[in-house]
Structure 1
Amino acid sequence: MPRTGEIFPSHRGSVLVAWGETAACLVPWRRGKAVDGDVSTSSTAPILPVTPAPPAGPLVHDSGADTAPGVIVVDSCTSLGTTLVVHLRGEIDHCSSAPLRALLASAADHGYTGLVLDTSQVTFCDSELLAIVESWPRHGRRVRLANRSRAVQRLLAAAARAGRQPAQAPTMAATS
């Protein structure tokens, strides 16, 4: 039996078309017409002309956010016993938080249990800062937000209105 969809040579003005494993039928063959009855060509040229792709420019990494200033800067990082004191400057969002997350992961691996984030120079922050602050207290660790900038105060006020209360400790001065 022929394979499914296979068309066999003409037999008295008809062709044998097979489908499935056990079915076939003889259908009339109309000369000069294509399979669908409307399109016919003897040309082998492509239907659409081949357009060369424009040359690729230099590969540029797009962080997805405005790059100026948009960078979180760890101004300083000091330790007081098992407490890490980090002074931040700039913007804290999903696109800029990776260095801070890496620093805190390393600090946790090295046994730091306390964290003081001085946010007086933070110009913008969103829920990413909340996520960072909420993730630190796992396994008995403590976190404090010190010298909260206006951006941080707005974020915490919005979080409180939404019922989310990270780092409820009062504002305190960080010592370095």
Structure 2
Amino acid sequence: MSTSSTAPILPATLATPAPPAVHDSGADTAPGEIVVASCTTLGTTLVIHLTGEIDHYSAAPLRALLYSAADHGCTGLVLDTARVTFCDSGLLAVLDWWPRHGRRLRLANRSRAVQHLLNLSATAGQQPAPAESLTAAGTS
């Protein structure tokens, strides 16, 4: 004689997942979102208008765009940051890479967040090279 059982494989106390433990470090760990609002070329100069937040994670697509532009012969970059609402050292890392090998960089219409980052960088003595390309470029 055989009997069938309809009892669950796991007891009910083990079958229901425990609520996740929440650890609040106090910092916003969500990556920022940067949007390339427009991207055009004028000869060998790339002109990019950015919108949003730039951090280590959201800077990756911008970095890839700049690598591609450099591979295709762009030697100048005008970066309009008027609508950037937040930025951290992720932006500095991207900007530090571009001027290498004789490329030109100009920051136009710097937002308050970008200007604040540049001021902090200059104060800390960790300004990306070449220094004059970031601080001397006026807004237009």
> How would you bin the TM-score normalised by the shorter chain?
0.7 to 0.9
Q: Is the 8 A contact 1:92 1:125 kept in 2?
A: yes
2:78 maps to 116
Matched, 1:171 2:138: yes
Which of the two has greater helix per residue? Answer: 2
Q: Secondary structure of the equivalent of 2:85?
A: strand
Measured in 2, the distance between the counterparts of 1:54 and 1:101 equals 44
Measured in 2, the distance between the counterparts of 1:163 and 1:78 equals 33
4+ residue stretches of structure 1 with deviation over 3 A?
A: 51-55
**CA offsets 1:40-98 (integer angstroms, 9 cap, x no match):** xxxxxxxxxxx96767xxxxxxxx8326xx31000000101100000000000012111
1:130 maps to 92
Q: Is the 8 A contact 1:145 1:169 kept in 2?
A: no
Q: Is the 8 A contact 1:65 1:95 kept in 2?
A: no
Measured in 2, the distance between the counterparts of 1:137 and 1:144 equals 10
Q: Secondary structure of the equivalent of 1:156?
A: helix
Matched, 1:146 2:113: no
| Length-normalised TM-score, structure 2 | 0.74
> Gaps spanning 5+ residues in structure 2: where?
1-12, 18-27, 129-133
Q: Is the 8 A contact 2:81 2:114 kept in 1?
A: yes
Measured in 2, the distance between the counterparts of 1:165 and 1:171 equals 17
Q: Secondary structure of the equivalent of 2:39?
A: strand
Q: Is the 8 A contact 2:118 2:135 kept in 1?
A: no
Equivalent residues in 2 for 1:76-115 (5 A)? 76-115=38-77
**CA offsets 1:102-159 (integer angstroms, 9 cap, x no match):** 1111001101000111000000000111111111011111111110000001101100
**Percent identity, aligned pairs only?**
69
Match of 1:158 among 91, 113, 120: 120
> Gaps spanning 5+ residues in structure 1: where?
1-50, 56-63
1:65 maps to 29
Question: Which structure is richer in relative contact order (CA contacts within 8 A, separation 6 or more)?
Answer: 2
Deviates most, 148-157 or 163-172: 163-172
Structure with higher Rg: it is 1
